Structure 1
Amino acid sequence: MGALPRTDREGDGAALRVAVVAPPWLELPPDAYGGVESMCSDLVDALVDRGVAVTLLAPGRHGTAAAFRPTGPTADPRLMGQALPEVVHAAQLPELLMDLCVDVVHDNTLAGPLVAGSHGLPTVVTAHGPVQGDLGSYYRTLSRRASLVALSDAQRAHLPSARWAATVPNGVRPERFPFRATKDGYALFLGRMSPDKGPVWAIDAARAAGLPLVLAAKCREDAEKAYFEDNVEPLLGGAVEWIGEVGGQQKHDLLAGARCLLFPIDWEEPFGMVMIEAMACGTPVVALRRGAVPEVVDHGRTGWVCDRPAELPAALLRAAEIDPRACRAAVEDRFSAAALAAGYERVYRQVAASGGPPAAARPAS
């Protein structure tokens, strides 16, 4: 149901038709915070550039170069993390996909892959979050009937028992980010307000280095607000400025002007989009060695990777040693949307040809 005959899709030069499913929380492209949504937006535009026929399934308005099927009239970010919107979003997919002639579905949601059996189309699933604990059990089971893609080798290493189809790092469109070789004096913390993102460590490091710090973070959910009020707000003042959530041109200007992006995470981050967004602006990254950080940041070339929070102040003071042009070049070479699309197109073609998870992805028995 829905898929064109495989014989019409053979060969690298053949047309390829893909349905990309985005999460239900935000319109694409997102106005502010939205790592998964940013990736989906850049991916579909870059796939269209490559001649892939893409249909995007997402809520709200039509904002990309792909064909569009809305999963709802609006997106409500206030519902982010709630189960029901995710389930309702997933339940619509078989009907929406029924009359689409596509070879592969690329699902970027948590619940959506559960209905893959209903629409009968080969499905690629990107694991956008952690793959430990209950989520690890979920993705391990899912990988037996869908082609599971990791964002980094670090993420993949946390679930070696899954049948991973590929590792495809995230990417951005560098031309959409302003490059600045001359930086201002502030360090920048940009992300969400959560202890695993390390905002308190960021404040401590900037103060120890004697540098101004700009804190810009998503702080919408109750847990984020409570953490901010209890742990971060009492530390504000002096050279530490809180500006809340940012997006669009304001976000780009902050990234481009910063002496560095401070990324002191305290969890196994599977990728970290903001790192490559900063690098696209020519801004180095000062980060802790967790998750995918060593795969993204080239120590001494595009930033400094620290083993302990106590090392962050010295690294902040050395940010000016990093050549902004090297940061930009790393994104153009390794983390561009073009590279992202090329990586996923390879996966799509493998899956379309085989009708399921590639045999090479299956663990040896």
Structure 2
Amino acid sequence: MFYRRAGVRHTSYVADRKLWPLAFDRRMLAVVMVVAITVPLWLGPLYLTAWALPMVIWATAAMGLNLLMGGAGQIHLGYAAVMAIGAYASVHLGRAGVPFELAVLGGGLAAALIGSVFGAAALRVKGLYLAISTLAMQYIVDFGIAHVPAISGGSQATLQAPPVTLLGLVPVDSDAGRYWVALAVCVVVASFLLNVSRTGYGRALATIRDKDYAAEVIGVNSFRYKLSAFWTSSFIGGVAGAVLAFCYYRAITPEQFHLDVSIQLVAMVIVGGLGSVMGSMLGAAFIFAAPLLLNTGLVALVRAGDLAISQELIAHIPLAVYGALIIGFLLIEPLGLAKIYDNIRKYILVWPFRHLG
């Protein structure tokens, strides 16, 4: 079989800690990267701008939230506010003449700073109280952005993002160029998070996620690591918000970062799989693309069958099916799409000798 551990020999700790010890995993990763990079070459402009580009950005944001929820076990219902801080800070920096790369990093730092301030207060409580505290952050940031003209220009104002220029020299004017910029950010974030779990920091977060008081007993400073998880997660969210503003929206308004966006991000993490980088990507693809595909499929089915269905019903059926799919996935595998993939992978690894699993 093409998917076996034969030939994999762990002769050192470095070899044992490889991210992809199996040759098939490395080949599959190479294929996925080639497909992702060449998307603008074979996907139409409409699908590139309406589907591929935002999905990559939302996957980046979901990975940042997953570090906090899946890595440290802390709920966050105000992640859209974190992205809003990054988006507005980076756009203001860009309009002030700061290069694109520094503006994006500045947006991430602004989001990390403000997110950590809220996190320091929120982490005094746990569970449902923590969720309510982060929800309060969402409403406070929403109110501040909408009612402080220096930030947004007003509740109905639109703030135009400067054009993307790499290194201050290379203008990025095409949809394909903006997609590649977003993809590069996504790859950097994914590489960072894949390696976090192999570090002492990642193991400390995992200990806190499982039992925070047990972590304190063995010498892990629970509050400090939780706060650092809030800082890192907020930084990634701010960077994702900046990329969203520069590469996708190109003009931002307060309505783009309301509570429903935070709920969608939480859904991406839960449906994809807590604590999984691949789960964040699968969850973003499912939450973002499923309604579009369901709506397109239903319209095609109605036209092919010449069915007499009202437009209102056509608009609501995909939403109902979409919700049923989410519930179905969670009933079949509560650990998300990443766990379903892992189950399939493990089955192939030992097939046809099931008793080895």
TM-score (norm 1): 0.29
More strand by share: 1
More helix by share: 2
Higher relative contact order (CA 8 A, sep 6+): 2
**Structure possessing the higher radius of gyration over alpha carbons:** 2
